[in-house]
Each structure stands twice: as C-alpha cells, then as structure tokens.
Amino acid sequence: MSFGVRDPHRVAHALAELMEAKPVRAPAPPFPYGAWLVVSGDERGSFLEILPATTVFDPDAPLGLRQRPAKSEPVTSHVLVSAAVPGEMIHAVAKREGWQAEDIETGLFKIVKLWIDGNVLVEFLAKGEAGRYVDAFGAAGLSTLDEKLRHLEANLLTALSQKLPPQVLVEALGPRPA
C-alpha cells in the first residue's frame, strides 16, 4: 500500500512505532525523493510506502510518477494493518502527532481508525484484535462471510435509518441501487 502525506519521515516513524516495524528511507529512484518504507519484517515481506503528498502515480509519466501541488482532501483508499501495540498506545501516538483516532466496533471485529493529515485513513487491528478479523475473513470464515456481511448490512441500515435523515445516508453511501 502506498499513500502520500505531508511529512513522510514523521509518518513512517510513527507507524513503525505502532507496528513494531522498521522505517527505512526509500531509494530515489525508483521512489520519489523523501519517500519512506515501513517494513514489517514478516514472512510475506509486507511494507507500506509513505510518499510525499505531491507524488501521484501516472501511467503516462516518466518512471510512472509525477509531481503536482499537494492536495489535502480525503482520499478513496485506506489500509488495514495489524498493530503490535494495544489500542491505548495507538490513541496516544495519534494524540502526540495531532491525528484524529476513534475506536470502531464493526460487528465482525474492532479497529482503531487513524486519520493521518486529516485525509489518509489507516485502520489498525490493535494487539489482540486480529483473531476476530481472521475468523471472519480467513479460510475458516469464508463459507459464511457473505451471510454475515448481509446480516450486518441489514442491521446497520436499519439502525442508521432511525438516527439519520435519508439525505445524509445518500451523501455518505451514494444512491441506493434499484
């Protein structure tokens, strides 16, 4: 997963702290100047690319990258990662860095949503929370996953419809398919 932020060095080091990972300055080229990697050191070689907010991927650009003025608006993508620390530490780091964080019980597992720079969403499974996620999305849960998701969907839609005006739901979810 790659995403752009205002201060890649600071963000990479904070995320590495939460993941008990290693922040490594990315080589430029092929990465843009100022990019960092947060390397988990796991058996899959997982890492996050933390790029300058001015960098965008462009198939028509040299090296597949180009620079543009930094934009600070919410983005469509997010990433879910396992934290090596409890939720309280995620909140403490978020507070220290000036990032918004909130606990969310999804109905299948619990996450901590962390908003970097107010626009990049990194969701954390705090230490001890990954089991419920794997139970739902791992091999054992796959056969009943769709049923669980449809049940969750129906319950949430009913609850939200009782609390929010219809237009708020349309603005958040888009128009309901026919």
Per-residue pLDDT, 69: 86
| Same-domain status, 127 and 161 | no
Average pLDDT of every residue of the chain: 92
Per-residue pLDDT, 173: 87
> For residue 17, which of 80, 86, 77, 118 has the smallest C-alpha distance?
86
- Model confidence at 74, pLDDT cuts 50, 70, 90, reads confident
| Same-domain status, 80 and 29 | yes
- Model confidence at 63, pLDDT cuts 50, 70, 90, reads confident
Number of domains comprising the chain: 2
| Same-domain status, 150 and 166 | yes
Most confident of 5-14, 57-66, 148-157: 5-14
> Which domain range does residue 60 map to?
2-137
Per-residue pLDDT, 52: 94
| Same-domain status, 148 and 119 | no
| Same-domain status, 103 and 149 | no
| Same-domain status, 74 and 156 | no
Per-residue pLDDT, 98: 96
Residue-wise pLDDT tens digits, 116-164: 988 899 999 999 999 999 999 999 999 999 999 999 999 988 888 999 9
| Same-domain status, 165 and 123 | no
| Same-domain status, 130 and 153 | no
HSE of 104, CA atoms in CB hemisphere, 13 A = 14
Asked if 5 and 116 count as a contact pair (C-beta separation under 8 A), the reply is yes
